[in-house]
A and B are shown apart, each in its own frame.
Chain A
């Protein structure tokens, strides 16, 4: 009941004209960055951090959260019409959605993506509304031990549950940790890993790191590619909207995608991209029309698009109620909270009740705005795809440079941006995913601080890890989360091996 009263209060202030304007601006910008290939929510939020510095905290946060979930909608438009996912979470939509568009069913693909996104997004926010207060109560018994464990779990899961090589995801995490430890030690004030450079004693700015890794390699790569074959935009003007059969075929995937996405979203260290992959695999498994997959199966659009939006809502839960980000984008949002002097977690629900519920209420409103904006305006967003590449990517480079300048106001900050841009490019070239590094960079100070406090309280003993009931349960879950996927992969590869043997 308290929750509903709080939420009502949130709606009252989220519906004030200024808040409403920021929510609309956020989802609109989110859709735009989702549509534009090569710029995702991470780059967009990072570029806007210096701008949002001067805003009221609640407005800045409404805006940046709106960009996050808005980008999930935009990504599906690009994936469907030019087969280039606007952001990673839409990668599977680029398979089925594009095939649908080629077969003259583009509008149906866009519609099932948008409606699924809306339903799943709203369900996830309802989950966020009612689950967060529960987690906040639970968090009251959390001590340094539990926080340390949760953060370690987030990092471990980010590597074991990532798509692609686990070793490389772990390397990415360690790169993030390595960069995050540069600078003065919080506890003792001693310089660490500065290689004798005083300028490094403030550490590497997180926003610069995120912009350098996410915006620069992509922009440089596209500019260096020059004019290749032009992306062919699938026309969809004369397509039919969803038929009755489409609705029937989409309903199941929407529901399943919402649940899968929400659960995966809540898990620390795992973002919405994995949610959409999992939903796709699941739909393919249980479908009676397996042969249609890869050739424009509507289930393969409806499920993953619902899943990635539910994943965003799910990912907000550990961020808001525990202060632990589960993905690179929520890590960025955590940074924004702390920039405003706010500490997400139980404290924010107690001391800043109005603010946190206004943000949650704005997400309901933003989701409604997205579905209203998206379907009728899809033609307008498609025009963005016709923007010449050189204009788009050179503008992004300039915006990133302004962002970096506005943070440090120095040549040093600008050079850091360039150097980490090169590092990001080399990481991509080596197949090392970039997102885990960002998560690690944000978590490392918290991880170290809680580790130290844990050992100080226990007098140097690691016993609390297993003697405290909550921490023991986290350890058990963590081990299951790491061992589970390994066993599963081993089992699959073994079966495949056996199958190969019998064939030959």
Chain B
């Protein structure tokens, strides 16, 4: 995904979240105080909208400049001078793009993790995993969160660890099994008997 699309989607999404957040402040009861309970949330909501639109607008302006000056290769970096650009009024674009964000694949995003311009330090962006794999990992994690209390810590943790390690390194299943069971038991014992943090016993209880 290009830096342009990333910023457009991020900015659009932030503006939408800000709008939802701002609308939610209408249900806060008003009081007679100088600073009402609504004041801060409203400021934050508006701030998110403004910043989101600014980011999206900035991306659009930079993109236009880059496509105009086609000559410059690897162009996103030196576009510092576009900073003063006013936010464009294209929030609609951002929202539309956000909807189709799902299918982007594993191209490395131009993360701006480097110190901009000044010192010329360029840090390598970490590799990006495939989206479907990330979704799958998160799904497994949520299943673990959901079953932890009803099933109990020992069984669900051993199963979760076994699942994760086996997806990663299926051929080492014996090691995975030993690790999963041992880790669950040792951590359970350490927390329950050592630190008196009572973890859910679930169906074993």
Residues of A within 8 A of B (CB): 50-51, 54, 91-92, 94-95, 163-165, 167-168, 170-171, 174-175, 177-178, 181, 185, 187-188, 190-193, 195-196, 216, 220-221, 223-228, 277, 280-281, 284, 388-391, 393-395, 397-399, 401-402, 405-406, 410-411, 414-415, 417-418, 421-422, 425, 429-432, 444, 448, 451-452, 455-456, 459-460, 488-489, 492-494, 496-497
Contacts and interface: CB of A to CB of B under 8 A. Distances in A.
Contact of B165 (A280, A390, A417): A390
A277 B35 contact: no
Given A178-B48, A277-B115, A456 B24 contact: no
B25 A193 contact: yes
Contact of A224 (B17, B111, B133): B133
B145 A277 contact: no
26 contacts: A163-B116, A165-B55, A165-B116, A177-B40, A178-B21, A188-B31, A188-B33, A188-B37, A192-B37, A193-B21, A193-B24, A193-B41, A220-B137, A224-B134, A225-B133, A226-B133, A277-B115, A280-B121, A393-B164, A398-B160, A401-B144, A402-B187, A405-B148, A405-B199, A410-B149, A489-B80
Given A174-B47, A193-B25, A431-B6, A411 B149 contact: yes
A167 B54 contact: yes
Contacts of A167: 51, 54-55, 58
Interface residues on B, range: 35 or more
Contact of B48 (A171, A451, A455, A488): A171
Most buried by B among A193, A226, A422, A460: A193
Given A91-B123, A185-B37, A187-B33, A54 B196 contact: yes
The 4 closest A-B pairs by CB, nearest first: A430-B10, A281-B119, A390-B168, A224-B129
Contacts of A54: 195-196
B146 A402 contact: no
B73 interface: no
B173 interface: no
Contacts of B130: 224
A364 B146 CA distance: 45
A227 B168 contact: yes
B179 A391 contact: yes
Given A192-B28, A493-B80, A496-B117, 9 more contacts: A167-B54, A175-B48, A178-B41, A188-B29, A394-B161, A402-B191, A402-B199, A406-B191, A425-B134
A432 B81 CA distance: 21
A281 B115 contact: yes
Interface string B127-147: 111100110111001101110
B75 interface: no
Nearest to A413: B145
Contacts of A192: 25, 28, 37-38, 41
Given A398-B187, A402-B199, A430-B6, A451 B142 contact: no
B118 interface: yes
B90 to A, nearest CB: 16
B114 A164 contact: yes
A406 B192 CA distance: 11
A429 B5 CA distance: 12
Contacts of B142: 418
Nearest to A55: B195
A414 B150 CA distance: 13
B103 to A, nearest CB: 14
B197 interface: yes
B41 A181 contact: yes
Contact of A429 (B17, B83, B109, B200): B109
Nearest to B149: A411
A91 B29 CA distance: 47
Most buried by A among B24, B44, B165: B44
B78 interface: yes
A425 B29 CA distance: 34
Contacts of A406: 191, 197
B113 interface: yes
B133 A452 contact: no
Contact of A452 (B34, B51, B153): B34
Interface string B42-82: 00110110011011001000000000000000000010110
Contacts of B118: 281, 488-489, 492
Nearest to A284: B119
Contact of A221 (B7, B126, B164): B126
B112 interface: yes
B37 A190 contact: yes
B188 to A, nearest CB: 9
A398 to B, nearest CB: 6
B61 to A, nearest CB: 12
Contact of B169 (A178, A281, A390, A492): A390
Contacts of B55: 165, 167-168, 171
Given A178-B21, A178-B45, A489-B80, A164 B116 contact: yes
Most buried by B among A95, A430, A455: A430
B125 to A, nearest CB: 10
Nearest to B13: A430
Most buried by A among B121, B187, B195: B121
Contacts of B51: 167, 170-171, 174
Contacts of A493: 78, 80-81, 117
B8 to A, nearest CB: 10
Nearest to B37: A185
Contacts of A94: 123
B14 interface: yes
A92 B121 contact: yes
A388 B167 CA distance: 13
A223 B145 contact: no
B35 A224 contact: no
